[in-house]
Structure 1
Amino acid sequence: MKITFHGVRGSIPAPGPDTVKYGGNTTCIEVRSDAGDLIILDGGTGIRQLGLELLRELPVHCSIFITHTHWDHIQGLPFFTPLFIPGNRIDFYGAFDPVYMKDLKAILTQQMEYCYFPITENELKARISYHTLSESEQTHIGSARVTNILLNHPVLNFGYLVEADGKRFFFTGDNEPPLNPYEPDDENHQMYAELIEQRKQHIIDFIRGVDLIVIDAQYTREEYLKDKMGWGHGYYESSIEMAREAGIPRVRITHHDPARTDQQLDAIHQRLRDQGLLPDDMEVEFAREGVTIEL
C-alpha cells in the first residue's frame, strides 16, 4: 500500500516561497493498494494536481472518501479533471449532515452551482455516484477495505481506516480532543468526563497498532490553550499522545496552519524533539506535499 500526500495545509491554501518545503495545498491524500485500487481521502486543492497526473492512466476509476465538508476539504473537487472526461468512474463516500439535513451529493452539487462555478454538476461527463455512510460502516474497494469512525469536529467528521495488503493506515481528518463543558465543581462534570474517556478509549482501540497514522495538529499547545479551544483541531502534543497510546509506530502530522512557514514548522519539530516529546519508538514527522510512503 502506498500513501501520497497531495495537500497537507489546513483552512485555506497558502502558496508562496515560505511554504515550498511542506506545500500550500489543502487536504488530499492518495492511497494505492498493491492491486492498483485508487482511494482518495478528501478533495482539498491538492486534488487538482492529482487529477492531472491521473490523465496518464485513463480511464480513471477512483473512490473519494470525504472526512467532512468544510471548504478546505472539498474546494478542489470542481478542478478535478477526471470528473469532466467520459468513461471515468468516480464514487464519492461521506456522511449525511444531520444539522442541515443534506447528504453529500446535495452539498457537493451546491458547490458547483452557477453562482460559485461556471460548470454545474450535471454537466460533468464522468459516471458519478454518491454513497452515504453510517458510522463504523465497512466499504470494500477492490482488494482494500475502508472503515470509518466518528471523530470530534464542529461538523460531523469521519476518520478513515484503510486496510490493504496486510497493512493498516488511518487518517483522522480534522479532530480535536473532546472538551468537558462543565466546570470541575459541577455535578455533571464527572459523568461527562467518564463519557469522554469511554469515547477516547473506543477510538484508541479502533486505531490501535495501525502501521501509519496521519493526524490533525494545526496548533501549538500554547495557541490552543490561549484562544483555539473548540475550533476542532488538535495540537502537537495531544496528537502525538493519541498515537502513542494507540501504539502506532509511524506518525505524520498534517493540517498545517496556513500562517505557518516552512522555517516555523521545522523549528516546532525541533522543539518537540529537544523537549523529549517525540517518543524514541515512534517515527514522527510533519507531512509534506508530494511525498509517498510505502507500507
Structure 2
Amino acid sequence: MELRFLGVRGSVAVSGAHAARIGGNTACVEVTSAGHRLVLDAGTGVRALGERLIQESGPQKATLLFSHLHWDHVQGFPFFAPAYAPTTQLTLYGPGPGGDVALERVLSSQMQAPSFPVPLSAMRARMRFCEALSGVPLEVGPFRITPFALPHPQGCLGYRIEEGGRAFVYATDVELSRAGVTPALGRWMEGADVLCLDAQYTPDEYAGRSGPARRGWGHSTMMDAAQIAAHVQAQRLLLFHHDPARTDEQAEEMAEAARTHFAAAEPAREGKVLRLGA
C-alpha cells in the first residue's frame, strides 16, 4: 500500500514561502495498491493528482471517499482533469445515509453559475455515487475500508483502510477534546501503522488564550492527537489539516510538542509518499 499526500492544509488553500515545506493545498490523500486507486477527499490537492493521471496511458479508474462535504474537502473536484474524459470511471462515496445524493448535489452546486463556467454534466466520466455508512465495510480491490463516525459539525467520517496486514487510518476534521477516546472511536484507530489525525490548533488557540476560542469548531490540537495515538498504540502519527495561518516553523514546533506524548509524531507534508508493507 502506497500513500501519497497531495493536500494537508485545512479550511482554505494558501501559498507563499511560509508554507513551502508543509504545502498549501487542502485535503487530498491518494492510496494505491495492485493497480487500484483510492482518493480520500477532493480538496485543492486533487488537481495535481489529475494532472499526473492524464499523463498516464489508458483509461483511469478511481474510488473517491469523502470524509464530509465542507468546501475544503470538495473544492478541488471541478479541476480534476480525468473527470472530463469519457473513458474515466469514478466511484464516489458520500458520507452517511443519503450521502450519494448529497455528494452529487454538492459537487453539482459548486459548478453552477455564477460560481463556475461549466456544469457537472460537462464531466464526461462515468460516475457512480454511493453511500459510505459508519461501521459498514467496503471492499475495493485489495482494500478493506471501514468508515467510522467522527465528531464534527454536520458530521464527518474517518476511514480505516487495510491491505496486506497493514492499516492506514484517515481521521481529518475531528474534535478529539470533546470526544475523548471512546471505545467506538478507538477501535477503528487501534494499532494503525499510520494514523493521520486532525491537529489544526494549539491548546492555547483551542482554549481561547490566543485569539478566539475554537471549542465547537470541529478540530483538535496536536496534543489531543498525540495522546490518542499513544492510547491506540499507533505506529506513526501524521498531524493533518494544518491551519491556513500556520507557518512551516510553527508546524514543526507543534510536532515537537506532540512528541512529548507520542515519539513518532510528525507534520503531514504535501508530496510525502509512504509505503506500507512489501
Q: Which one of 248, 263, 275 corresponds to residue 294 of structure 1?
A: 275
- Aligned AA for 2:30? E
Q: Distance in 2 between matches of 1:132 and 1:259?
A: 34
**Which residue is 1:140 aligned to?**
139
Root-mean-square deviation (CA), in Å? 1.8
Q: Distance in 2 between matches of 1:146 and 1:277?
A: 28
Q: Distance in 2 between matches of 1:105 and 1:96?
A: 13
Q: Distance in 1 between matches of 2:184 and 2:97?
A: 23
- Aligned AA for 2:62? C
1:108 aligns with 2:107: yes
Q: Distance in 2 between matches of 1:294 and 1:212?
A: 10
Gap change, CA 1:268 and 1:21, over 3 Å in 2: same
Gap change, CA 1:169 and 1:201, over 3 Å in 2: same
- Aligned AA for 2:225? S
Q: Which one of 248, 252, 277 corresponds to residue 234 of structure 2?
A: 248
- Aligned AA for 1:237? M
**Which residue is 1:229 aligned to?**
215
Q: Distance in 1 between matches of 2:2 and 2:143?
A: 12
Deviations 1:161-205 (A, max 9, x none): 1111221110002100263xxxxxxxxxxxxxxxx67x7111112
- Secondary structure of the residue aligned to 1:86 is coil
Q: Distance in 2 between matches of 1:220 and 1:47?
A: 27
Bigger Cα Rg: 1
The Cα of 1:221 is off from its aligned counterpart by: 0.8
1:285 aligns with 2:272: no
Structure 2 unaligned spans of 5+: none
Normalised to the residue count of structure 2, the TM-score between the two structures is 0.93
Gap change, CA 1:271 and 1:134, over 3 Å in 2: closer
| Contact 1:66 1:73 survives alignment (8 Å) | yes
**Which residue is 2:191 aligned to?**
209
1:12 aligns with 2:17: no
Gap change, CA 1:97 and 1:113, over 3 Å in 2: farther
Normalised to the residue count of structure 1, the TM-score between the two structures is 0.87
Q: Distance in 1 between matches of 2:246 and 2:197?
A: 17
| Contact 1:217 1:256 survives alignment (8 Å) | yes
- Secondary structure of the residue aligned to 2:228 is helix
Q: Distance in 1 between matches of 2:159 and 2:110?
A: 23
- Secondary structure of the residue aligned to 2:54 is helix
Gap change, CA 1:200 and 1:20, over 3 Å in 2: same
- Secondary structure of the residue aligned to 1:18 is helix
| Contact 2:100 2:131 survives alignment (8 Å) | no
- Aligned AA for 1:30? E
**Which residue is 1:184 aligned to?**
none
Q: Distance in 2 between matches of 1:217 and 1:150?
A: 17
Q: Distance in 1 between matches of 2:135 and 2:187?
A: 13
- Secondary structure of the residue aligned to 2:182 is helix
Q: Distance in 2 between matches of 1:95 and 1:271?
A: 33
The Cα of 1:154 is off from its aligned counterpart by: 0.3
Q: Distance in 2 between matches of 1:201 and 1:239?
A: 16
| Contact 2:145 2:161 survives alignment (8 Å) | yes
Q: Distance in 2 between matches of 1:168 and 1:259?
A: 31
- Aligned AA for 2:239? I
The Cα of 1:115 is off from its aligned counterpart by: 2.0
Aligned residues: 271
